[in-house]
Amino acid sequence: MRKTPTKVARHRRSVARVASRARAATVAAPQAMPLTVVILAAGEGKRMKSALPKVLQPLAGRPLLKHVIDTARTLKPAAVHVVYGHGGEQVRGALNDEGVSWILQQPRLGTGHALAQAMARIADDQLVLVLYGDVPLISRATLSKLLALAGSRSLGLLTMRTDHPGGYGRVVRASGGRVLRIVEEKDANERELELTECNTGVLAAPAALLRRWLARLGNANSQREYYLTDVIAMAVKDKIAVRPLIAPTLAEVLGVNDKAQLAHLETAWREQAVDALMLAGVTVADPARLDVRGTVTHGRDVFLDVNVVLEGRVALSDGVRVGPGCLIRDSEIGAGTEVFAHCVIDEAAVGPGCLIGPFARLRPGARLGRGVHIGNFVEVKNARLGDESKANHLAYVGDCELGKRVNIGAGTIIANYDGATKHRTVIRDDVHTGSNSVLVAPISVGAGATIAAGSTVTREVPAGKLTVARARQQVIEGWRRPVKPHK
């Protein structure tokens, strides 16, 4: 049906009104403030009793501070600033490739003073998220919720509830639940010490307001420090909304001050990582005896036995089985491969359908094709083994290239090092080496060749031939073994 002129006019006016409302809504919608993250990491950590600065203490194979930096990056901030102090050059040296801005706090006069050192590099239009280098398990999900509470006229404050609040500042609220201030434990009265909601130190606030509050901080307290926590009372006084968020788990906001707390968080990390693997379909023989110290990707029907350690970036394909007591670091394991007990696999790539171990060691540069067998007390380093090749017993295979269906006999070694230089060996398809052979590199062995047991081979081995390189057996008549003189 055609529209009449009147209907057309009404329709056009209606469309114009909708468009006008849409433009107005767009103009009125608040713009998200650019995010800057400041990580306070200047603490000494005396209770660690270690020459290593606190923020470099390892958790799940990475420094505490590295965990925090990695989480901060997931928020896509415009910049990440790290305020460092104790062990400064050591901290910067260990994490120099992280692409963060380093700011020295010297002297160290408290958390408020530390944040003030970073503010010179932060524009007023930024939203500032304050994190801590010794609080490693804080999650992206929690921080995203906290950031949603902060804005140009509001401050997001992360708190926690605990039955054991000793050592933490207490969050003081009005009778209606509104946050009034934070009081440090050493400055709290008896009523405040009974509070169980505590400050985590993590907050998000607009840079312009933070700058103003930090300039007003004083140090009239028991520790003569400039507390960042004092800005909460300043925000309340300035009628800036303080929006609290209680952390969903205690583990993600706990700090590390000594080795006992570090071990406690290691357990929490392990539980989280193992739970994630099991929920994704990995079978774990005993969740309490699997250590994940990195990133693990996996296929279906993967089985991990007790006391397995996975470090760095580990990829486990469908049907991989890993026996007890194995360490796998920065490696890929192909589908259907079984790794038997007590193996070490480090920076290696293992193809599908392989059998590894027990007590085997794959060192950096080991590359195994399909169906390769590496048996007990065999070491492979910087070597490529073709499909269905085998080294089943007591062998060293280093700096070499093996073809398909090669059989390395028990006790065979490839002597790759002359004391100054590593040399490479090439072994073609279908070669067999006898037990206790020595192949002195550089050397090549032709396809289908057989090397007799006990041979020390120093020259090229022709294809399809039997090569014997050992002294002729002799019997020396009349020889007598020396006798020790009587004392």
Known catalytic residues? 393
Residue owning tokens 């970073």:
118
Of the chain, the end-to-end C-alpha distance in Å amounts to: 128
Within 8 A by CB and 6+ apart from 165, the residues are: 185, 193, 195, 196, 198
Cβ burial 442-480 (10 Å sphere, 16+ → b, else e): bbbbbbbbbbbbbbebeeebeeeeebebeeeeeeeeeee
Helix (H) or strand (E) holding 23: helix 5-28
Q: Are 48 and 259 in contact (CB under 8 A)?
A: yes
Phi and psi dihedrals of 456, rounded to 5? -115, 105
Residue 409 DSSP class: -
Dist CA 459 CA 440 (whole Å): 8
HSE toward the beta carbon, residue 373, CA cutoff 13 A: 14
Residue owning tokens 């007790």:
306
Dist CA 134 CA 64 (whole Å): 6
- 353: helix, coil or strand? coil
